[in-house]
Amino acid sequence: DVKVTQSSRYLVKRTGEKVFLECVQDMDHENMFWYRQDPGLGLRLIYFSYDVKMKEKGDIPEGYSVSREKKERFSLILESASTNQTSMYLCASSPMDRPSGYGYTFGSGTRLTVV
Amino acid sequence: AQSVTQLGSHVSVSEGALVLLRCNYSSSVPPYLFWYVQYPNQGLQLLLKYTSAATLVKGINGFEAEFKKSETSFHLTKPSAHMSDAAEYFCAVLGDYKLSFGAGTTVTVRA
């Protein structure tokens, strides 16, 4: 089975801190995604990447950046954490060669609280 | 751009009763549609997907969904609810390699 591993289940950070959320997948998938999940809003796409060193903005990229130095790892960076970034963050991956009709595999999520 | 709308943020059913979760889509091209489930404190798990083959799609855990182009709908059903079905359910549509999700429907199951 494809595994998508997010390094932390729970994080508590202070306002203004730089925060790194790490995601690793083990099935050589080209595509990787970061979503945030908030009650009543579903999942909203922050950033995604089709390949190493490539990144594309999603629907809500403000206040975030990403890094993909290796194919298996996709990091989400909060440059200066704010309380409105308190949320559940979900990482996902999918293969490039079957994009149509192929869903994502998700990690278990990181619940981030900014105080 | 493709999008989905889930009707009803909360659904409460009795154990053994029918589960019906509603999803309508908007797409300018034939859509690829998905239903995901999220159990408490977990990530999302794929229930089923529609990829323009059969209009009635069977998934895991006894769930199925029917694609109706005339109604632009992809509703999820399960004939008999079980306590273990209590979770949040998301409908999603694939566009440009990216999934767009609905707001989710939380299902509670009464004993």
- Quote the mean pLDDT of chain A: 91
Interchain CB contact of A97 with B (< 8 Å): no
The larger pLDDT score, comparing residue A104 to residue B66, is at B66
pLDDT tier for residue A101 given thresholds of 50, 70 and 90: low
Terminal-residue alpha carbon distance, chain A: 36
Q: Verify whether the Cβ–Cβ distance B51 to A103 is below 8 Å.
A: no
Phi and psi at A14, nearest 5°, equal: -95, 150
Interchain CB contact of A43 with B (< 8 Å): yes
Q: Count of CB contacts below 8 A, A vs B?
A: 66
Predicted confidence at residue A53, as pLDDT, reads 86
Chain B residue nearest residue A58, CA to CA: B98
| pLDDT tens readout for residues B14-69 | 999 999 999 999 987 778 899 999 998 888 999 999 987 788 999 999 999 999 99
Predicted confidence at residue A95, as pLDDT, reads 83
Predicted confidence at residue A98, as pLDDT, reads 53
Residues of chain B with C-beta less than 8 angstroms from the C-beta of A92: 44, 99
pLDDT tier for residue A97 given thresholds of 50, 70 and 90: low
Q: Output the six-digit token pair for B38.
A: 């999220």
| pLDDT tens readout for residues A57-90 | 999 999 999 999 999 999 999 999 999 999 999 9
What SS3 class is residue B83? helix
Asked if residues A88 and B104 have their Cβ atoms less than 8 Å apart, the reply is no
* C-alpha–C-alpha distance, residues A59 and A47, integer Å: 8
Predicted confidence at residue B52, as pLDDT, reads 76
Residues of chain B with C-beta less than 8 angstroms from the C-beta of A90: 43-44
| pLDDT tens readout for residues A22-56 | 999 998 888 999 999 998 899 999 999 988 988 99
Interchain CB contact of A110 with B (< 8 Å): no
For residue B92, pLDDT over 90 is answered with yes
Q: Give me the residue label for tokens 């060193």.
A: A53
For residue B107, pLDDT over 90 is answered with yes
